[in-house]
């Protein structure tokens, strides 16, 4: 009887794991090591990236306008209620889809970013693509964002327009088993050549595009003859050197034992803020405990969460009381100046601070927000943006 019960439980657990594609990442989760001890406070870099799609669901133009207008109005009010240790508001990363470009939408978001509430970056949905079309699409879009909307920085040494990237449908480097919603096995190489400074797509759990590497900041090397080359890579290390084609910045993944269904089944934490999984103090605590960091710099941790914030149902959460309470919890529990110091950062600043850690720098990460890549043209010059905030 006991053997039969054990077998039934094992079958239920196996089905639970398979239904959520947890077999992809559970081994890395089980092997996780605790974050090393360190002297002084833990600096918490909090980054909120948004697959910002005003045309989601193919609504008419008036609905699209209402979505963007609501964001430009309500996000200002929300962010103005909060400050980090440096006096900055929460920063929102608007990863806007190339295929949804409409000048009037971007003009409104441009104004929001110019006033210090975030930055625009590149998002793309594509299917069965070709290298030539991908190069043309990304090049055209990044130039449009930079020249027409003052977004995206230029590299100070090369003058190249640089961008952060999120792949639509989570399918970076052709990673879906059926090869849909991408088509390019050499996408990591192409992104590097086109000026991508880092990818912010992961995590994608419970999607089958999820990587086996989790809770990491790492370099992936592309195999142009195989998909999903970012499944594994080399973790960024303080005092190290770049080792791959593309830098990937992941958000937290794991089992949320604080939020259990039926009293014993943990929810899967995937860094996604949505209507059916809003942020809670317990989730925030779990993100901090995950402690994603550059190896050798454990006192700097990075929390990158994501959302699809434009549609009405999701906007109710991202612009509403739950996210307001999330920011308050961060400020009340992770910004005492002794145990924790809170920094609201955008994607570009995450890259800069990661690269500063890699170069061997320590201390206050606020000094490295513009370490390599400066603010885009539609933001104030380095230093004045923080003062104005």
Domain boundaries, the chain: 39-388
How far apart CA 86 and CA 113 sit, in angstroms, is 18
> From 3.20.20.370, 3.40.50.1220, 3.40.50.10860, 3.50.50.60, which CATH number describes the 39-388 domain?
3.20.20.370
Region 329-351: mean pLDDT is: 98
pLDDT of 346 reads: 98
Name the band, by pLDDT with cuts 50, 70 and 90, for residue 342: very high
Q: Which residue has the higher pLDDT, 14 or 206?
A: 206
pLDDT of residue 389: 28
> Given pLDDT bands bounded at 50, 70 and 90, which one contains residue 15?
confident
The pLDDT, as a whole number, for residue 259 is 76
pLDDT digits (tens, 9 = 90+) for 172-228: 999 999 999 999 999 999 999 999 999 999 999 999 999 999 999 999 999 999 999
Return d(Cα 46, Cα 165) in angstroms, integer. Answer: 18
pLDDT digits (tens, 9 = 90+) for 246-286: 999 999 999 988 877 666 678 899 999 999 999 999 999 99
pTM attached to this predicted model: 0.93
Residue 263's pLDDT is: 65
Contact 76, 112 (CB under 8 A): yes
Strand ranges in 282-345 using DSSP code E only, listed in sequence order: 300-307, 340-344
Residue scoring higher pLDDT (263 or 69): 69
Q: Among 1-10, 58-67, 79-88, 303-312, name the one with the lowest average pLDDT.
A: 1-10
Band of pLDDT at residue 97, cut at 50, 70 and 90: very high
Residue 6 has a pLDDT of: 65
Average pLDDT, the chain: 93
């Amino acid at each position: 009887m006991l053997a039969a019960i054990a077998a039934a439980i094992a079958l239920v657990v196996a089905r639970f794991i398979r239904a959520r594609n947890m077999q992809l990442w559970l081994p890395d989760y089980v092997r996780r090591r605790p974050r090393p001890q360190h002297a002084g406070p833990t600096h918490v870099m909090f980054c909120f990236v948004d697959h910002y799609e005003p045309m989601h669901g193919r609504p008419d133009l008036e609905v699209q306008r209402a979505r963007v207008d609501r964001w430009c109005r309500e996000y200002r009010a929300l962010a103005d209620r909060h400050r980090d240790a440096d006096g900055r508001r929460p920063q929102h990363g608007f990863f806007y889809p190339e295929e949804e470009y409409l000048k009037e939408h971007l003009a409104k978001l441009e104004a929001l970013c110019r006033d210090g509430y975030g930055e625009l970056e590149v998002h793309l949905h594509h299917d069965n693509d070709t290298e030539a079309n991908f190069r043309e699409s990304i090049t055209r879009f990044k130039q449009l964002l930079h020249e027409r909307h003052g977004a995206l920085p230029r590299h100070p040494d090369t003058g190249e327009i640089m961008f952060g990237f999120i792949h639509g449908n989570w399918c970076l480097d052709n990673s879906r088993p059926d090869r849909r919603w991408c088509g390019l096995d050499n996408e990591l190489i192409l992104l590097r050549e086109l000026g991508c400074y880092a990818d912010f797509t992961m995590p994608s759990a419970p999607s089958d595009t999820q990587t086996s590497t989790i809770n990491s900041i790492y370099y992936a090397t592309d195999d142009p003859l195989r998909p999903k080359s970012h499944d594994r890579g080399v973790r960024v290390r303080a005092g190290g050197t770049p080792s791959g084609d593309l830098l990937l910045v992941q958000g937290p993944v794991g089992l949320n034992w604080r939020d259990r269904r039926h009293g014993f089944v943990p929810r899967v934490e995937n860094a996604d803020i949505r209507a059916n999984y809003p942020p809670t103090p317990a989730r925030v605590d779990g993100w901090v405990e995950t402690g994603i960091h550059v190896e050798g710099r454990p006192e700097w941790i990075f929390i990158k969460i994501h959302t699809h914030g434009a549609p009405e149902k999701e906007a109710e959460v991202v612009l509403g009381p739950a996210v307001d309470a999330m920011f308050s919890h961060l400020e009340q529990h992770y910004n005492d100046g002794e145990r924790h110091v809170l920094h609201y950062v955008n994607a570009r600043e995450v890259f800069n601070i990661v690269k500063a850690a890699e170069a061997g720098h320590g201390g206050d990460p606020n000094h490295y927000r513009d370490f390599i890549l400066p603010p885009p043209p539609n933001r104030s010059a380095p230093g004045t943006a923080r003062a104005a905030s």
